[in-house]
């Protein structure tokens, strides 16, 4: 059954668990997530980026979500727009049946100037008004995702920030978070604590200098009733890197966000945990393996079925680790 982000995260807060939000672009990823959820009785957040919507087509995506909901009537399902960049993206998502949208008004901000902040407040507030009129939820974002390890030299799109900004300018400021939630009335708030999108987050297992979980704790202390969201939360497991590289891949050694740090976040108000890279890596590692081990194979299903199974396994593991399992 369909559920909004607000309904789902209220339940998660009440019962002290977190919910992974997995990105989808195609049928196989949707099937993998729902199969995992059904195995462990977990509620689901499926999210689609703007890129996913243009890849799959809005009509195709909407009917796919309808189909998944019909196939798994007992699994609560929230369909969420990931990183909406303007009002139109959020409005059309809702029109296509999304029950939740992210209005990422921090996307345009290179650093935390007053004008950037006001732009973010204003556009997020407009989307909240619109979404709440029709019963959809809204996630906002404050702060700049990007590696502290690289001196803050990464923007969310992977491009460098002009002139590099300080650690304080990247991490979400707790005072500003309080003000932002009050001014926008968002249902959930994405915060920056040192993670970045994609596989290359850290060059070694992150410590408190580069992964600032203290910021999460401080914001939760100040905003105990706000659902917090962690982006860039793939763990980039070593075994998935190894499979990828064993079968002809050339992925430099990298480190993601340790699951125990996410679990610590969940103890401090983190309710939604965004994961895309781990699922991508699980699937494409299998593509490499099948292509390497059976060079005569040309039936796509022989690639896609085991890839789906690998994605199902990582989704199931995250449902168990985040305490989502058993809460459908």
- Please state the residue numbers annotated as binding site: 83, 104, 141, 197-198, 231-234, 274-277
Task: Dump the DSSP string for 104-150.
Answer: -TTTT-SS--HHHHHHHHHHHHHHHHHHHHTT-EEEEEES----TTT
Q: Which is nearer to ligand 13P, 141 or 218 (CB)?
A: 141
- The residue range among 70-78, 201-209, 229-237, 243-251 that interacts with Zn ion, by the rule CB under 5 A, is 229-237
Given 10, 66, 82, 129, the catalytic residue: 82
In the complex, the smallest distance separating the C-beta of residue 299 from ligand G3H, rounded to whole angstroms, is 27
- Label residue 220 exposed, middle or buried (CB < 10 Å: 0-12, 13-18, 19+): buried
Q: Identify the residue among 80, 231, 271, 318 touching Zn ion (CB under 5 A).
A: 231
Q: Which is nearer to ligand G3H, 215 or 281 (CB)?
A: 281
Q: List CB contacts of 214: < 8 A, sequence separation 6 or more.
A: 208
| Residue 300 touches which member of Na ion, Zn ion, ligand G3H, none, C-beta under 5-8 Å by kind | none
- For residue 78, the SS3 value is strand
Using rule CB under 5 A, residue 106 touches Na ion: yes
CB–CB of 230/192 below 8 Å? no
Q: Decide: is 52 part of the binding site for ligand G3H (CB under 6 A).
A: yes
| Helix, strand, or coil (residue 42) | coil
Question: Minimum distance from CB of 50 to ligand G3H (Å)?
Answer: 7
Region 274-303 residues binding Zn ion, contact defined as CB under 5 A: 274
Active site residue 187: no
Based on the shown chain and the rule CB under 6 A, indicate whether residue 124 belongs to the binding site for ligand 13P: no
How buried is residue 157: exposed, middle or buried, by Cβ count under 10 Å (0-12/13-18/19+)? exposed
Catalytic amino acids? 82
């Amino acid at each position: 059954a369909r559920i909004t982000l607000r309904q789902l995260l209220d339940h998660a807060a009440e019962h002290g668990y977190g919910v992974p939000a997995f990105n989808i672009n195609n049928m196989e990823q949707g099937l993998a997530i729902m199969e995992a959820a059904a195995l462990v009785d977990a509620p689901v957040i499926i999210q689609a980026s703007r890129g996913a919507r243009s890849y799959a087509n809005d009509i195709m995506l909407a009917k796919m979500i309808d189909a998944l909901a019909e196939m798994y009537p007992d699994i609560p399902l929230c369909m969420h727009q990931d990183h909406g960049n303007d009002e139109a993206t959020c409005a059309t998502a809702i029109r296509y049946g999304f029950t939740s949208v992210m209005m990422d008004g921090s996307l345009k901000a290179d650093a935390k100037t007053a004008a950037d902040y006001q732009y973010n407040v204003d556009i997020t507030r407009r989307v909240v008004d619109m979404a709440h009129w029709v019963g959809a939820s809204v996630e906002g974002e404050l702060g700049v995702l990007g590696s502290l390890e690289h001196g803050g030299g990464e923007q969310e799109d992977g491009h460098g920030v002009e002139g590099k900004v300080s650690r304080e300018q990247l991490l979400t400021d707790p005072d500003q978070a309080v003000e932002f939630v009050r001014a926008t009335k968002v249902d959930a708030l994405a915060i920056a604590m040192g993670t970045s999108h994609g596989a290359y987050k850290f060059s070694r297992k992150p410590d408190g200098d580069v992964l600032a979980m203290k910021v999460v704790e401080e914001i939760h202390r100040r905003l105990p009733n706000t659902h917090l969201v962690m982006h860039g939360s793939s763990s980039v497991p070593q075994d998935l890197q190894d499979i990828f590289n064993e079968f002809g891949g050339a992925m430099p050694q990298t480190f993601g966000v340790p699951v125990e740090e996410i679990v610590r976040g969940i103890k401090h108000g983190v309710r939604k945990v965004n994961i895309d890279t781990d699922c991508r890596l699980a699937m494409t590692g299998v593509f490499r393996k099948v292509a390497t081990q059976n060079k005569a194979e040309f039936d796509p299903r022989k690639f896609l079925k085991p890839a789906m199974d690998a994605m199902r396994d990582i989704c199931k593991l995250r449902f168990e680790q985040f305490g989502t399992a058993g809460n459908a």
